[in-house]
């Protein structure tokens, strides 16, 4: 079935495992650049325990990542690669609920020796378990393999991803 969006769809590709590993490394380094000095400013040390540890290592990263996903559809690592997280069915922006499920899904994906993360390398849509749980995919402009969404409503254009 052809519609006015088919041209835009053929210029998008699913982002694979190694590109997403690269994005994660960028994000991890940026989080450390923020969290280490913040910890020293607030607590005089990075090695914290108890509530301080929970705040610095768990709560702040969750808030930062979710805010970035909601506002930009990506973290800086994904943005550097021109990638964006979208709803797997429609290609539109995911809901905040989907982003929360996706974040929680990281933990589920890591529990069995990281199999849910490595799943990206073998899945046709390059979805990890966290993506499957939240019904999301990570896409970017390209053309290697066309992305096909079920909904015929206008989808994000490749230029929308870079913003």
Give the model confidence (pLDDT) of 94-112 as tens digits. 999 999 999 999 999 999 9
| Closest to 101 in 3D by CA, of 84, 82, 83, 85 | 85
**Confidence (pLDDT) at 48:** 74
> Which has more pLDDT, 163 or 142?
142
The rounded distance, in Å, linking the Cα atoms of 83 and 105 is 19
Q: For the whole model, what pTM was predicted?
A: 0.79
Give residue 127's pLDDT band: very low, low, confident or very high (50, 70, 90). Answer: very high
Q: Sign of the C-alpha dihedral, residues 35, 25, 158, 118?
A: negative
**Confidence (pLDDT) at 67:** 98
The rounded distance, in Å, linking the Cα atoms of 145 and 128 is 18
**Lookup: tokens for 143:** 């053309």
**Lookup: tokens for 100:** 């929360």
**Cβ pair 138, 20 in contact under 8 A:** yes
Mean pLDDT of the 69-74 span:
97
Q: What would the pLDDT profile of 7-58 be if each residue is shown by its tens digit?
A: 444 589 999 999 999 999 999 999 999 999 988 888 888 777 888 888 888 9
**Confidence (pLDDT) at 163:** 52
């Amino acid at each position: 079935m052809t519609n006015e969006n088919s041209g835009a769809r053929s210029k998008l590709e699913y982002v694979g495992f190694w590109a997403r590993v690269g994005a994660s490394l960028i994000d991890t380094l940026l989080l450390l650049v923020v969290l280490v000095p913040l910890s020293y400013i607030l607590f005089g040390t990075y090695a914290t325990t108890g509530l301080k540890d929970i705040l610095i290592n768990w709560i702040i990263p969750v808030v930062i990542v979710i805010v970035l996903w909601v506002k930009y559809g990506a973290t800086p690592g994904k943005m550097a690669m021109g990638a964006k997280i979208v709803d797997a069915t429609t290609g539109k922006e995911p809901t905040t609920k989907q982003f929360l499920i996706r974040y929680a899904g990281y933990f589920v994906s890591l529990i069995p020796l990281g199999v849910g993360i490595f799943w990206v390398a073998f899945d046709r849509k390059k979805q990890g378990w966290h993506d499957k749980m939240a019904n999301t995919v990570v896409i970017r402009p390209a053309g290697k393999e066309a992305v096909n969404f079920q909904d015929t409503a206008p989808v994000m254009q490749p230029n929308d991803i870079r913003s």
